[in-house]
Amino acid sequence: MRFRHPDGSTVHLSYCTNVHAAENLDGVIRQLRDHAEPVRRRLHRDRLGIGLWLAHDAARALTEDPAALRRLRRALDARGLEVVTLNGFPYQGFGAQRVKYRVYRPDWTEPARLDHTADLARLLAALLPDDVDEGTVSTLPLAWRAGFDRAARHTALAALTTLAHRLDALQETTGRSLRIGLEPEPGCTVETTADAVDALTGDGAPPAHRIGVCLDTCHLATAFEDPGQAVDSLAAAGIPVVKSQLSAALHAADPARPAVRAALADFAEPRFLHQTRAPGPDGALLATDDLDEALAPGALPTTAPWRAHFHVPLHAPLAPPLTATLDVLHAALARLVGGPAPLTHHLEVETYTWQALPPALRPRTRAQLADGIAAELAVARDLLTDLGLKELP
């Protein structure tokens, strides 16, 4: 979906296809037929943006076989779909029964991450619509925190600098500009916007014209960051928000209540990590790596609210006693695109947890999933038009 900002520029809205499991090209093309096109039809759109997730095997096949890449481009065009951004965070296996910590490997200290992200950039340059000359790729925020020392940081930042040089060369040969956004996430070495500023402005920082931040509003909320302050701090440091993922976290206002803890327990599931945070008495955040750990007696204080990294659907209010951090999403979006000029032109709804929701909330059919994704995009569309943007055909 495309929107005209009052300054005349175009803002793109998509949904991320990492919600659909696919590890190879045939699976990706089935996604377009079975999921993305039905979502487009529900929104009565001739064209719909998708934030494509390409697992390593699919990306490698497309890189090595020009005919395969042409096949994907034809499938996108035939289904009325366009791609201006890729989700390069999960490397492979995101549809597995148990993902947890595996999603952070390989990290930016490993050559495989650099090679994969460079492949994604080359592919996106070929997949961009004919009238678009800039694409973005989101990626993990260097690494999971455990074992990440100064030497690892040096290696990771050097790899990003190498990638930036490759992107410069790619623009020279294709005319397309590709930028990469580190996605701050709880538990990672870059968890907050302050961590992003430190990593992307300190010694060895990669060039800012290629490497910036992907601001995920669920992660922002989980870390109890103020959206306005977060966006302003990035702007003050000269770090571009190359992309924003529109998502909401799980919020429990009173985790001491048995009913609240029982409701939270329904969201503790075995597939993804649901990092949980609570403000401590001194204002510092206290943390667990997962929701079930947070629910263990004494793991987190119960005198302050908890937030969990669980992407909950944007359009369906949670039943009390839990809520979603939609206020953070609204505030972040207003700061990002509500001003005289957009601070980012790529927005992506990313609710990959539909099948990890408590059973009563999960879609039971492909049609129900398409209904839900379309409803989320409609919420995002209405937020944008309320900020003065105009939906384009």
The reported pLDDT for the residue numbered 283 is: 84
In the chain, the percentage of residues whose pLDDT exceeds 90 is 98
The reported pLDDT for the residue numbered 282 is: 87
C-alpha to C-alpha distance for 383 and 333, rounded to whole angstroms: 8
Pairing of strands 211-216, 322-324: unpaired
Predicted confidence (pLDDT) per residue in 281-334, tens digit: 888 999 999 999 999 999 999 999 999 999 999 999 899 999 999 999 999 999
The four Cα atoms 281, 283, 284, 286 give a dihedral, to 10 degrees, of 50
Q: Which CATH superfamily, name and number, covers 2-254+310-391?
A: Divalent-metal-dependent TIM barrel enzymes (3.20.20.150)
Predicted TM-score of the model (pTM):
0.97
> Which residues pair with residue 180 across a beta bridge?
137, 211
Predicted confidence (pLDDT) per residue in 184-225, tens digit: 999 999 999 999 999 999 999 999 999 999 999 999 999 999
Indicate if the pLDDT at residue 153 is higher than 90. yes
The reported pLDDT for the residue numbered 21 is: 87
Predicted confidence (pLDDT) per residue in 10-57, tens digit: 999 999 999 998 999 999 999 999 999 999 999 999 999 999 999 999
Indicate if the pLDDT at residue 149 is higher than 90. yes
> Which residues pair with residue 248 across a beta bridge?
312
The arithmetic mean of pLDDT across residues 334-346, rounded, is 98
The arithmetic mean of pLDDT across residues 96-120, rounded, is 97
Predicted confidence (pLDDT) per residue in 67-100, tens digit: 999 999 999 999 999 999 999 999 999 999 999 9
